[in-house]
Amino acid sequence: MKLANDYKKILKTLGFNLAKQQPKHIKRQEGNPLQISSITEERKHKILENTGVIISPRNKEHRQKYFAGLKPYKFLLSLIDENLTSDKNILFEGIAKSFVAEFTKSIDLICNIYQAEQIPEIYGIVPNQLNDNGKRSYITTGVSCMQGKVKRFFDVYKDTQDLQLITLEDKDGNLYGRALLWSDRHNHNPVSTITYKDDTNEVEKIDTKIEKKFYLDRIYIADALCGTDKIKAVYQAKVFNFVCEVLGVDSVPCYSSKHLANIKSVNVDKGSRVPTDFYPLIRGEALDYDFYPYCDTFQGLDGATWYEDGDECEVKLTETDGQNANATGCNCEDCGDRVHEDEIYFAEQDEQYLCENCCTFSEYEDQYINNNYIREHRSTGDIMHEDNL
Ligand SMILES: [Zn+2]
């Protein structure tokens, strides 16, 4: 690998002691392009002694079984052998930073587009591990708190009309970036409406061409890939331009537009807000899901629609543990139903919190009573607790 050799020379020129055992057969690791595969002469000998295996750098199994797979920083560190003084440490850190940037820059990435049904699968990929599907996600929980969460958190995405996910992947399908592409509910309205002319009662067809509205949500890029904000923006621009191309438009409103504004190749409006009157549509019932994702942009669900501001919604998506933030955790102690905190009643005598179906207010006793313990006073008809008869 030329890059590794170039940096070895740089380290030597700048006065670093090179390690006696230098890594050999240096290659980008197959299946994990953010790591470097190599082996030292010493290790080759040891393997021969212990197992009789003659290491071949072209043998895939040998690569997997016997070679070291190092992150670029660790790899660079393995080239030298000395205790770094603080001056030299600063120098090394600088060299390492530029090595990591150059190493990651050359990874070939492509954009892909996925439909709503596939979204839970992609969010479910656990960061930095080889997953069931043989792919890795480099989007760590440090970048997006939702990556790697259980799939059922994202059922609500599956049911969102025309929601799409744009990804940044390498040729093996490993994930380096992603962004939700929201579609306004009116995108699918009929293009014409029928009205009656006032004076003649004559039917007139008016074409109301409805402009399609989209919103590109925050573009997440793997930390391991970027290092700096500037490099990150270059990758974000790749996703942004891909979306414009797919939609056949010059530009699209985007959450990450502030980052993108400094990149020349994108045509982005500086505003990052969702367009007015933009509400994606849920095909299911918003309250029927057992779990919900945390959301940056559309933080609320009201019946069948997504809302930007979560405060006025039935379901507020500001929790990372799959909960609805509006559900305050009040459960009726008799039937177990979950109810809003304003609709729970304290039955003093039995010290129970109850829902409206499980208790009745007694004017006579001035307290709520669990329906199971209610008795009627034989002569007055007043409702009483059975213990007070
Ligand atoms: Zn109840």
C-alpha 230 to ligand 1 mean position (Å) = 56
Residue 211's pLDDT is 63
C-alpha 141 to ligand 1 mean position (Å) = 39
> Angle, nearest 10°, between helix axes 2-13 and 86-105?
160
Residue 11's pLDDT is 96
Residue the block writes with tokens 């006696």: 20
CA-to-CA dists, residue 196 to 166, 208, 220, angstroms:
44, 15, 50
C-alpha 370 to ligand 1 mean position (Å) = 9
DSSP 127: B
Euclidean distance between CA atoms 216 and 244, whole angstroms? 10
C-alpha 289 to ligand 1 mean position (Å) = 21
C-alpha 339 to ligand 1 mean position (Å) = 9
C-alpha 341 to ligand 1 mean position (Å) = 13
C-alpha 353 to ligand 1 mean position (Å) = 9
CA angle 229, 230, 233 (to 5 degrees): 85
C-alpha 290 to ligand 1 mean position (Å) = 20
C-alpha 315 to ligand 1 mean position (Å) = 21
Give me 330's structure tokens: 């009040």
Helices (H), the chain: 2-13, 41-51, 60-66, 72-78, 86-105, 119-123, 155-158, 223-226, 229-247, 257-260
pTM (two decimals): 0.72
Looking only at the bridges linking them, the beta strands covering 220-221 and 175-183 are antiparallel
Neighbours of 41 (CB within 10 A): 13
Residue the block writes with tokens 């070939």: 108
Length reported for the chain = 389
Residue 227's pLDDT is 63
Domains of the chain: 2-105 (no CATH), 110-283 (3.40.630), 330-388 (no CATH)
What is residue 223's three-state secondary structure? Answer: helix
User: How do residues 178-196 score in pLDDT, each as one tens digit?
Assistant: 999 999 988 754 444 555 5
- Give me the residues near ligand 1 (ion), CB cutoff below 5 Å: 332, 334-335, 355, 357-358
C-alpha 343 to ligand 1 mean position (Å) = 10
Give yes or no for residue 142 having a pLDDT over 60. Answer: yes
C-alpha 331 to ligand 1 mean position (Å) = 8
C-alpha 364 to ligand 1 mean position (Å) = 22
Backbone angles phi, psi at 381, to 5 degrees: 80, 5
User: How do residues 258-317 score in pLDDT, each as one tens digit?
Assistant: 888 878 888 887 778 898 889 999 988 877 888 899 998 999 998 889 998 877 888 999
User: How do residues 196-252 score in pLDDT, each as one tens digit?
Assistant: 555 555 555 555 555 678 999 999 999 877 667 777 888 999 999 999 999 888 899
* Closest C-alpha to 348, from 377, 376, 378, 385: 385
Residue 28's pLDDT is 92
Residue 4's pLDDT is 95
Give me 218's structure tokens: 């925050």
Residue 141 CA neighbour count, 13 Å, CB half: 9
C-alpha 365 to ligand 1 mean position (Å) = 21
C-alpha 337 to ligand 1 mean position (Å) = 6
C-alpha 338 to ligand 1 mean position (Å) = 8
CB 327 within 8 A of CB 318: no
C-alpha 302 to ligand 1 mean position (Å) = 24
Residue 191's pLDDT is 47
C-alpha 348 to ligand 1 mean position (Å) = 15
Residue 190's pLDDT is 46
C-alpha 336 to ligand 1 mean position (Å) = 6
Q: Which residues pair with 331 in a beta bridge?
A: 338
